[in-house]
Amino acid sequence: MRRLIVILPVALFAGLIGVMVALLTDSERNSDLSRLPSPLIGKPAPAFDLPAVSDSVPGGFSTSDLIGRVSVVNVFASWCVPCLAEHPMISQLAGQGVAVYGINHRDKPDAATNWLRRHGNPYIAVGADLDARASLDWGVTGVPETFIIDANGVIAYKHVGPVTKDVLNKKILPKLREAEGG
């Protein structure tokens, strides 16, 4: 009993340190620490119906467009620098034949149109989300965000932040294959 009283706090403290070290050194988890888990994964894509950004940009699109085949929904804005950084990856996805849709988040229609003209438009359709209302329903916390929707219209994966080459190869592409297989 007496020995236990002495040992117990030390053991608890050692255990706590162990858990902390384990969590801190887990780099996989660490890189995602600031990212919030989305409760929408495994749920049907939210109901929305977005108009086209402008006459010269194909769009808009709605929930029903996402059913029938695996698709990618990319939330972007012309004012968002990381979106420009990930643009080549999104274009690469589209080039591989993936159905990529764009939600233009809180943007000026003119600015978005010009941006797409200058950098290329990889999207099958772009929906203008001027008041970010649809983005709220998607649980978007900031741009860019990228969702993978399976053929049943269920959200299979969400990536917060720009899609880098690494993210594309290690996360997006495997998840896409998984969604297509399942």
Partner 1 sequence: MKKLLTSLLLMAAFTATPLAPALAVNPDEVLDDPVLETRAREISTELRCVVCQNQSIDDSDAEIARDLRLLVRERLVAGDNDEQVVSYIVARYGDFVLLRPPWQPNTYMLWAGPPIMAIMIATLFVVFLRTYQRQRNAGLGPDPLSPHDRAELDALVERIAATTESGSGPKTQFRAELAEGLTPPPPDTTDETEDSNVDAGQGDTRS
Residue 76 or residue 123: which is nearer to partner 1 going by CB? Answer: 76
Q: Pick the stretch among 18-26, 32-40, 73-81, 168-176 that binds partner 1 (CB under 8 A).
A: 32-40
180 sits near partner 1 (criterion: CB under 8 A): no
38 sits near partner 1 (criterion: CB under 8 A): yes
141 sits near partner 1 (criterion: CB under 8 A): yes
Spatial neighbors of 49 by CB under 8 A, at least 6 apart, are: 60, 62, 63
Return d(Cα 53, Cα 123) in angstroms, integer.
Answer: 12
181 sits near partner 1 (criterion: CB under 8 A): no
39 sits near partner 1 (criterion: CB under 8 A): yes
Q: Shortest Cβ distance from residue 38 to partner 1 (Å)?
A: 7
Return d(Cα 50, Cα 132) in angstroms, integer.
Answer: 11
Q: C-alpha 61: how far from its chain's center?
A: 18
162 sits near partner 1 (criterion: CB under 8 A): no
Closest residue by Cα to residue 182 from 140, 152, 145, 142: 152
Residue 142 or residue 174: which is nearer to partner 1 going by CB? Answer: 142
Q: Pick the stretch among 1-9, 78-86, 146-154, 168-176 that binds partner 1 (CB under 8 A).
A: 1-9
Using CB atoms within 10 A of its CB, is residue 132 exposed (0-12), middle (13-18) or buried (19+)? middle
Diameter over CA atoms, the chain: 81
74 sits near partner 1 (criterion: CB under 8 A): no
Residue of 44, 58, 109, 137 that binds partner 1 (CB under 8 A): 137
Return d(Cα 170, Cα 70) in angstroms, integer.
Answer: 18
Return d(Cα 77, Cα 143) in angstroms, integer.
Answer: 7
132 sits near partner 1 (criterion: CB under 8 A): yes
Residues that bind partner 1 (CB under 8 A): 2, 5, 9, 36-40, 46, 106, 131-133, 135-139, 141-142
